[in-house]
Amino acid sequence: MKKALSILGIAGSLRRDSLNRRLVDAAAALAPDDVTIARYDALGAVPMFDEDVEAAGEPAGVRALRDAVAGLLIATPEYNQSFPAVLKNAIDWLSRGDEMLAGKPVALVGATAGRWGTRLAQAGLRQVFAATESLVMPSPMLFLAGGEALFDAQGRLRGDEHARLAHFVAAFAAWTRRYQPIVLPLPP
């Protein structure tokens, strides 16, 4: 049976053993019954945004990102007190054309070895998603510090962080359900 809500999980890291990729998977495992969280893994194949490239047609990697999704879950690393360039690049592409980011439910989360748990990266993303008129879930927020020690061998967050992520995912599922566009039936 097709699940009612499809959420795309994007890790803002190209690294094979990325904490944030593992975080998307941990969130997917906690999704409620009517929600799928699918991981998008092709950020590295999205070319640098260039209006000349855009004029020649949207690259395949961007088209795949544009597929109808009910919401976006972004797991961001923090690079130099901001979010990585690959994320900004993807957002810039998606902000063009059909403006699919406008009105889109978005949740921000992030993991790092740094002690502040991606607070500044997430704050930077909130500013960008204000420009795209996306609906970023205001709370709960989740900032994960601790690096490799965050996860156990099964890819589950250790200790209290597991319950915090479960609460976060449930809240985002509710946020996404709440802000789906209303499709009115056509008049006879």
- Report the DSSP beta bridge partners of residue 9: 39, 73
Out of 28, 58, 79, 140, the residue judged to bind ligand FNR by CB under 6 A: 79
Would you say 71 or 117 has its CB closer to ligand FNR? 117
Cβ count within 10 A of residue 35: 22
How far is residue 91 CA from its own chain's centroid? 11
* Helices (H), ranges, 107-188: 119-131, 160-178
Nearest distance from C-beta of residue 81 to ligand FNR, angstroms:
4
Task: For residue 58, report the phi and psi dihedrals to the nearest 5 degrees.
Answer: -70, 130
Residue 77 in contact with ligand FNR, rule: CB under 6 A: yes
Overall residue count recorded for the chain in this entry: 188
Minimal distance in Å, beta carbon 117 to ligand FNR?
7
Count the Cβ atoms, other than its own, within 10 Å of residue 57: 9
Q: Which of 59, 61, 114, 140 binds ligand FNR (CB under 6 A)?
A: 114
How far apart, in whole angstroms, are the C-alpha atoms of residue 117 and residue 97?
33
13 binds ligand FNR (CB under 6 A): yes
Residue choice 3, 4, 6, 18 for contact with ligand FNR (CB under 6 A): 18
Q: Which residues ranging from 124 to 143 are in contact with ligand FNR (CB under 6 A)?
A: none
What torsion, rounded to 10 degrees, do the Cα atoms 24, 25, 29, 34 define? 50
**From candidates 50, 60, 63, 81, binder to ligand FNR by CB under 6 A:** 81
Site map (CB under 6 A) of ligand FNR, residues 24-63, x = contact = ----------------------------------------
Question: Which residues sit at the interface with ligand FNR, rule CB under 6 A?
Answer: 13, 15, 18-20, 77-81, 112-114, 116
